[in-house]
Amino acid sequence: MSRKAYGATAVALAVAVALAGAAPAQAAPSTAGTPGLGDPYFPLAGNGGYDVRHYSLGLDYVRAGNRLRATAVILATATQDLSRFDLDLRGFTVTSLTVNFAPALFRRDGQELIVTPRHPLRAGRPFVVRVRYTGQPTEIIDPDGSSDGWVPTADGAFVVNEPQGSPGWYPANDNPRDKATFDFAVTVPQGITAIGNGRLVSRTTHRGKTTWRWYEDSPMAPYLATVTNGVFQLRIGHAGRIPLYHAVDPLEVPKGGFDRLAAEPEIIQFFARLYGPYPFSSGGGIVDHAPEVGYALESQTRSQYDQTPDASTVVHEISHQWFGDSVSLTVWPDIWLNEGFATWSEWIYAERHGGVTAQQAFDEAYARPATDPFWARPPANLGGAEFLFTDPAYERGAMTLQALRAKVGDAAFFAILRRWCAHYRNGNVTTARFIALAETVSGRQLDAFFDVWLYRVGKPTTW
């Protein structure tokens, strides 16, 4: 089925048609969707009992006072009979909520927005939820002390959600395994640019306000959504037929913001040759002046930088479009499947562009003495959410891949990566699945190898 851009009205009509054609519903058993999906690090992230197919977000934001007025329309399918279900949402005043166009009861419990529809939902049937809400978006402080969610800047907001910021600005099934398509209509004061995921559908100005409409046609994990906004210069280029949207804060233009983003077409083409076709229908980057953030993030189709990045950071974030965005983790303890792969991508990019080889990068990291704390946390056994974005996930994850390359040879190794990207495109993965694929493609038994590199504490000495 071809995908078409559609907003809240079209979503509602689609569900109305589906519901009208359905057989009359009988009373469903009293069953409630779970308030979380049991992630080891964020057990209440996400909700059970349904699968979101599409989010349509209408957002009206004014930086003065940090005020957001919004409507979220969520198209979902029940995966069990439901008398009640949850959405994740932090803060805000919910002014109305309907399920299948009928007012529904709701209550709040922490991040849980607990919804009781007028009529029970039947397994396998589509349903539509409309939530109207208003207030100040919530900036989330993560276990490592960093901020995510809707982070206010001097002229707007830097909107980055990894790992748990999405419910700070829209109601979501906030778990990477529930991917959906998105459309955004972001209304901001005239002169402010709002950058969403996917393709720019339109921008219209009326009575001192501009509405920016974006559509992301590939399934996306909720944490990868963005509507970063502020004063930007926007340029649209291409990588082949793929449109690239480059937005740079005027404060970062003299620092080379556009020059850094100009490398994107070549980087995309390089990784497409290495890993397989670029997985999305658009690309681009945002360079904001946001010193209060302190990191970059690979929002889907739109990598985001809190300042003008160095060249290797751009390479890292673009490689995430394959590893992390298209092929996404299932649970957060497997973060090395995102960050280790992106760090190794930096290494192979340098190797193929006249820099140090990936093996030299490995050797430099391996030279650390066995007493170095670097060896205390294995990539797939970090020990807690506060360690998600530390060296073991990044550099030790990359070392695992380079050690695998040396063990099975280039032909098998690059075949593993290409098959990984092709087979799990737009899907979710686990470390166990990567191990199984590596063994299948290489024809070798690798349990001991991966145990040493991914799970054991201490510096590997034999593998």
CA 1 to chain centre: 24
Cβ within 8 Å of residue 10, ≥6 positions away: none
Q: Are 179 and 348 in contact, with CB atoms under 8 Å apart?
A: no
CA distance 295 to 195: 18
CA distance 304 to 296: 5
Q: What is the pLDDT of residue 426?
A: 98
Q: Residue 186: how many CB atoms within 10 A of its CB?
A: 25
Q: What is the pLDDT of residue 30?
A: 66
**pLDDT surpassing 90 at residue 160:** yes
Query: How open is the CA angle 62-198-434, to the nearest 5 degrees?
Result: 120
Cβ within 8 Å of residue 235, ≥6 positions away: 245, 246, 247, 248, 258
CA distance 278 to 283: 9
Q: What is the pLDDT of residue 138?
A: 82
- Encoded tokens for 2: 């071809």
Q: pLDDT tens, 28-70?
A: 456 999 999 999 999 999 999 999 999 999 999 999 999 999 9
What is the model's pTM?
A: 0.94
CA distance 8 to 407: 52
Q: What is the pLDDT of residue 8?
A: 43
Longest dimension (CA), the chain: 69
Nearest to 438 by CA among 463, 460, 462, 405: 405
Q: pLDDT tens, 120-136?
A: 999 999 999 999 999 99
Residues 297-303: what's their mean pLDDT?
A: 98
Residues 368-384: what's their mean pLDDT?
A: 97
φ/ψ of 382, rounded to 5, equals -70, -35
CA distance 329 to 176: 7
Q: What is the pLDDT of residue 316?
A: 98
Residues 347-373: what's their mean pLDDT?
A: 98
Q: What is the pLDDT of residue 13?
A: 45
Q: What is the pLDDT of residue 139?
A: 85
Nearest to 450 by CA among 389, 403, 384: 403
Long-range contacts of 261-267 (CB under 8 A, 24+ apart): 261/285, 261/287, 261/314, 263/311, 263/314, 264/239, 264/314, 264/318, 265/237, 265/238, 265/239, 265/240, 267/314, 267/315, 267/318, 267/349
- Encoded tokens for 51: 């699968």
Q: pLDDT tens, 179-231?
A: 999 999 999 999 999 999 999 999 999 999 999 999 999 999 999 999 999 99
- Encoded tokens for 292: 């209060």
**pLDDT surpassing 50 at residue 11:** no
CA distance 413 to 394: 19
Q: Are 385 and 143 in contact, with CB atoms under 8 Å apart?
A: yes
- Encoded tokens for 42: 């964020």
Residue 117 region by backbone torsions, left for phi larger than 0, else alpha for psi between -120 and 50, else beta:
beta
